[in-house]
């Protein structure tokens, strides 16, 4: 009987964790969709929305999208990236997917590298991005 109760307890905890994680990802999706729609005309509002997202518990896909859109919003608000670790998460996730997110992530990674006064390192990154876009 105790084994059954322990099994039931563990199962309930796991189901609750999965449900909460899924809800958190859906909420992040909703906010990121709104921020993405605002990005061109109102980048300050987009940045404000993105900064409200609690990233703890986001899955890899949602965190990569968060990292990409946050970096993009910071750039559009003339905020240079402090380092390239955040956008590198997006680059790692989107690498090999051959989509616009991969191209954007590479562009912002090159930009972040350039902002670190590393022109020599940024040129091959931006060149790869350019070749993907053409």
* Rounded distance between C-alpha atoms, residue 29 and residue 110, angstroms: 26
pLDDT at 17: 46
Q: State whether the Cα torsion 112-118-119-122 is positive or negative.
A: negative
For 64, residues 6+ apart whose C-beta sits below 8 A from its C-beta are: 89, 90, 92, 93, 94, 101, 105
pTM comes to 0.77
pLDDT at 63: 96
pLDDT at 10: 54
pLDDT at 113: 87
The tens place of each residue's pLDDT in the chain, 134 residues long, gives 666 566 555 555 444 444 444 788 999 999 999 999 999 999 999 999 999 999 999 999 999 999 999 999 999 999 988 788 999 999 999 988 888 898 899 898 988 888 888 888 888 888 888 888 87
């Amino acid at each position: 009987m105790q084994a059954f109760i322990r099994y039931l307890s563990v199962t309930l905890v796991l189901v609750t964790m999965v449900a909460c994680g899924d809800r958190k990802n859906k909420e992040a999706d909703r906010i990121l969709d709104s921020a993405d729609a605002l990005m061109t005309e109102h980048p300050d509002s987009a940045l404000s929305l993105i900064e409200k997202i609690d990233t703890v518990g986001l899955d890899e896909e949602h965190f990569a999208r968060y990292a990409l859109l946050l970096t993009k919003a910071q750039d559009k608000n003339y905020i240079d990236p402090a380092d390239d670790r955040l956008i590198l998460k997006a680059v790692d996730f989107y690498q090999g997917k051959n989509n616009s997110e991969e191209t954007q992530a590479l562009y912002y990674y090159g930009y972040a590298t350039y902002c670190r006064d590393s022109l020599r390192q940024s040129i091959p990154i931006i060149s790869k991005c350019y070749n993907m876009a053409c």
